[in-house]
Amino acid sequence: MRHSHWTHAAAAAASRHGWPSQPRRRLALAAAMGWAMSLHRPAAALAPDADWALAPPQAHGISQPQLQRLQAQLPDAQPGLRALLLLRHGQPVLEYYRSGLGPQTLHPVHSVTKSVVSTLVGAAIAQGQLPGVDVPLTELLEEARQPGVAPGVARMRLADLLTQRSGFKRVGDRHGWYAAFAQLAQSRPVVEFAMHREVQTEPGTRFLYSNLDTHLVSVALGRRLGMPLAEHARQRLFTPLGITEWVWPALHGDTAGAGSLMLGARSLARLGQLWLQQGRWQGQQLLDPAYFAQATQALVTELGPEVAAAPPTRMGYGYLFWTAEGLRPGWRSFYAAGKGGQIVLMVPSHQVVIVALTDADDWAPDRSAARTTRLLREQLVPAIADEAQPATAAGASGRTSAGARRSV
């Protein structure tokens, strides 16, 4: 993996990958803030997966005419939609990209990054590198053991950060916290700031969505492993899944854990299938199964009015994953979500994975997310047969049966 500061060459690479101008400006700002770019590429240009091919929708209980109508309408009806993928039984049955984009395009996935961080916690537990989520923060961060830290920090566990219940006072108000965190990162090291931040509520008792909590998870896990979290991701997650190209910035030397990862749509589909299979991939258990079962349950249900009103219907929060009902009656799902309509949604009972990527409107990200969610609920989900699907050999192992195309 090559580490470098954001340069004109990296900006040119961004242009080739089709990143929108606003995220490109945000990444340029990241360089000014002292972020290093963790850029991993193969030696040669990455070609589309040789074995990636769409399976017949009707063979997987999906209406082909409805999918065809949906794809025909997308360019005009959903101009902000960058990519839309649908997998069933481990097989891709729909793959749409806006004109000018494609499988090789890297997308800013915003807070989907948080769910990837959670996944890496599960990988570390599976490898015996982390005892579990009840480990105190003081055992993971040297800064938490220093004199003068804020009262309450010593009582925080990793689980409290993973469920967004650290108790820290929010950085910024409920409407400006995203920009406030970026400004904080520009002004001083985040870990140093956190250790002296007011702890308003007892750790583990109150949910408050926060980039600060998740970045501390990334820092703490990286320190525990003795490597940046991006390198842990390369070794234990991306390489086994065949993900070969990504960008993941570092913030003051530590992998940015709150929302800075950039991935291709197919890479997100691979992650979604891994999540659907509870961490199992091609016969290997990459994630601790007990951890991941908890990570995708509604461990927190009192989320507050600002979350309850957000689409899709958010019923709970696990370890940096959302849980939900509402896309269809009776469907229970869990998902990773990022600002402005970046969604990777899993429905285990129906063996469904959906990836949707959207241009995030910086002035109205909730509006962008609402448009994407409405598209899924009203046009894509109705094309999927409603009967529950038992886990197949493909779903359990990441492989298909003889004669079928290779699973993602």
pLDDT tens per residue, range 233-254? 999 999 999 999 999 998 888 8
The more confident residue out of 389 and 194 is: 194
Residue 157: pLDDT over 90: yes
pLDDT digits (tens, 9 = 90+) for 198-232: 999 999 999 999 899 999 999 999 999 999 999 99
pTM, entire model: 0.83
Task: Give residues with Cβ within 8 angstroms of 402, minimum separation 6.
Answer: none
8 A C-beta contact, residue 331 and residue 323: no
Instruction: Tell me the one-letter amino acid at 314.
Output: R
The closest of 260, 302, 334 to 165, measured between CA atoms, is 302
Supply the DSSP symbol for 310. S
Read off the pLDDT of residues 86-143 as tens digits, 9 standing for 90 and up. 999 999 999 999 999 999 999 999 999 999 999 999 999 999 999 999 999 999 999 9
**Buried/exposed 244-275: b ≥16 CB within 10 Å, e otherwise:** ebbbbbbbbebbbbbbbbbbbbbbbbbbbbbb
CA distance 5 to 16: 18
Domain boundaries of the chain, sorted by first residue: 57-110+263-397
- Dist. CA 115–CA 268, nearest whole Å: 11
Helix/strand/coil percentages in the chain, nearest 5? 40, 20, 40
8 Å CB contact between 164 and 303: no
pLDDT for the residue 190: 85
Fold of 57-110+263-397: Beta-lactamase (3.40.710)
For residue 182, how far is the Cα from the chain centroid? 19
